[in-house]
Amino acid sequence: MATIALGKDIDSWCTRCKLVLAHTIETIVNGKAKRVHCNTCGSQHVHRAGPPGEGGTGTATRTRTRTTAAPRAVPAATMYAGLMQGRNPGNARAYAMTQTYKAGELLQHPLFGVGVVTADKGDGKVEVVFESGGKVLVHGRG
């Protein structure tokens, strides 16, 4: 089991991106991550291990009432379009798990197409947003 510590990354359901993505732990209560912020969009929220409706793992008890409408989810294609704005897909490097990638780089995956690296998850993994959605890919394996 991974060590839970302030400032460490943890996978969490992002309430804005509507994906399980890398988040940074901001608050720990009773040895469990309580509040996190998304490394992709920067939103802050309660830690949720998975999406809502999967056995309750992604739900959180609401302690206050909203007085305004909640912001709409950003569809993967819209997020992808924003990340790709002003970039030339022809400059994407061919994906190979033996290569290493940094946040902001473009890569060309043989199955998913052109993607943007959004986060280094550690342990030889990177988070990549493709037009079809987010994926975690291995890198730096030799």
- What is the chain's pLDDT, residue by residue, as a tens digit (142 residues)? 567 877 788 989 988 888 888 888 888 888 888 988 898 888 889 989 888 875 445 444 444 545 555 555 566 677 888 889 999 999 999 999 999 999 999 999 999 999 999 999 888 999 999 988 889 999 999 7
Shared domain for 69 and 1, answered yes or no, is: yes
Shared domain for 58 and 5, answered yes or no, is: yes
Helix (H) or strand (E) holding 138: strand 133-138
Q: Using an 8 Å Cβ cutoff, are 83 and 68 in contact?
A: no
Give the domain range for residue 61.
1-73
Q: How many domains does the chain have?
A: 2
